[in-house]
Amino acid sequence: MSALWSARVPVESPPRPAEDSHYECVVVGGGITGATTAVLLARAGIRVGLLEARHIGAATTGNSTAKLSVLQGTRLSTISRKQSADTVRAYVDANLEGQSWLLAFLREHAVAHQVQTAYTYAQSGRGGKAVDEELRAARRAGLPVRYIDQLDVPFRRAARWRSTTRPSSIPWTCSPR
């Protein structure tokens, strides 16, 4: 199944580079990683070429759910089990930096997007324990998460809910409109 937005946006193959093209740096792959790297290099004044085998966003990026969220399942508690608090905090700081850079880029280029509060939730008692652990890991990493026990969602609840969220004044989940 492809992402909804790929059905609405015409796919354009990138132009073939001229044979006598010269670049100081060539980035391979036009997903979020390659495209962002190429933009940053170009902004730093480097003559950069971006090579893409298919079209921009052809693979994982174009078929993701396109959220820019710092809460990613149980990632923080998972990392915390094997890494120091400083490492987890550095991971969170890098995520926040990337999120705010991309959000600024979207605003600068008038790309339609939504800013929403993000939630980590569970549908079972076992999942609830995992969410509690994630909440503690997020707090240790300095994220202003808070605990709520009810979610207004349009689908049926399987069991009790546990959720963590950040105040909506801090934009942290962002998805295409």
Q: Which residues bind ligand FAD (CB under 6 A)?
A: 28-34, 51-54, 58-61, 64-67
Rounded CA-CA distance 63/114 in Å is: 18
Judged by beta carbon, residue 118 or residue 137, the one nearer ligand FAD is: 118
Kindly tell me the burial class for residue 172, based on how many C-beta atoms sit within 10 Å of its own C-beta (0-12, 13-18, 19 or more): buried
Tell how far CA 135 is from the center of its chain: 19
Query: What's CA 50's distance to the chain center, in Å?
Result: 21
Which positions ≥6 away from 109 have C-beta within 8 Å? Answer: none
- Shortest distance, CB of residue 176 to ligand FAD, whole angstroms? 10
Give me the least distance between CB of 125 and ligand FAD, in Å please.
27
Cβ 14 to ligand FAD shortest distance, Å:
10
The residue among 75 and 128 lying less far from ligand FAD, judged by its C-beta, is 75
Question: Considering beta carbons, is residue 113 or 160 the nearer one to ligand FAD?
Answer: 113
- Cβ 174 to ligand FAD, closest distance in Å? 9
Q: Which is nearer to ligand FAD, 8 or 126 (CB)?
A: 8
Residue 150 dihedral angles phi and psi, to the nearest 5°: -135, 140
